[in-house]
Structure 1
Amino acid sequence: MSKTDETLKDQEKAQAAVEKEVAKKEPTKKEPAAPRPGTAEWYEEKIPVKLFKDSGKYASDVFVAVNGKGYRIRRGVEVMVPRFVAKVLQESMDQDTATAELIEGLSGEYADKAKALGMS
């Protein structure tokens, strides 16, 4: 190995050591941490919501009230709402689904009983 090669390697090592020291002294820039689920900040965080829209039953805006504060959400357009509002909307849709399933099941039972009694 020539003297020039040794000098270049020493310079590279010195440069790496300087960069390492500079990196230690520079404050690291961190992105703000996302709120932890279940915290007040998490529930307040705005998230996108898009409600189904048609020309019949699902044409008008949806009103959601939580703790005395009201939100009018347009159908067919993606809007940003606090997570707690999206949660209320999701729970409402889940309940509508459960109700429809219950009605369907009870209607089937009624039809079966009516048929057994010769009423249909």
Structure 2
Amino acid sequence: MAKIFVISTAGKDDINKAMMAMNFALGAKKNANATVALMFLGRGVETLLKGAGNAEQMKKVIEDMIKAGIEVNYCGISLKNMGLSKDQIFDGIPEVMGGVETAKRIDQGYSVVSF
């Protein structure tokens, strides 16, 4: 069975690309029964903003991914570097260190796909 680690770097200026990353992850899980994890990295953490105009849509897709069994997390260093705080993003999403998480997933046999 395939193991796919999706990295989303698309921010609020490219929501279509962010949606593509999330829909790719969902499709790989549901249609190919792949083991999938997704991390928001760099500007990708903007996808998690509670106050964004499309926050409800993003939150629903993230909830759908989690319900499907996709591990979803975000890079805390990216959040800090964007000048954002945990209070500004959706609750319940684990924080990781992007580089460490990527290395861990590669060691576990995941293929990395980035958007």
TM range, smaller chain? under 0.3
Greater relative CO (CA pairs within 8 A, separation 6+): 2
Task: Compare CA radii of gyration and give the structure with the larger one.
Answer: 1
Structure showing the higher strand proportion among its residues? 2
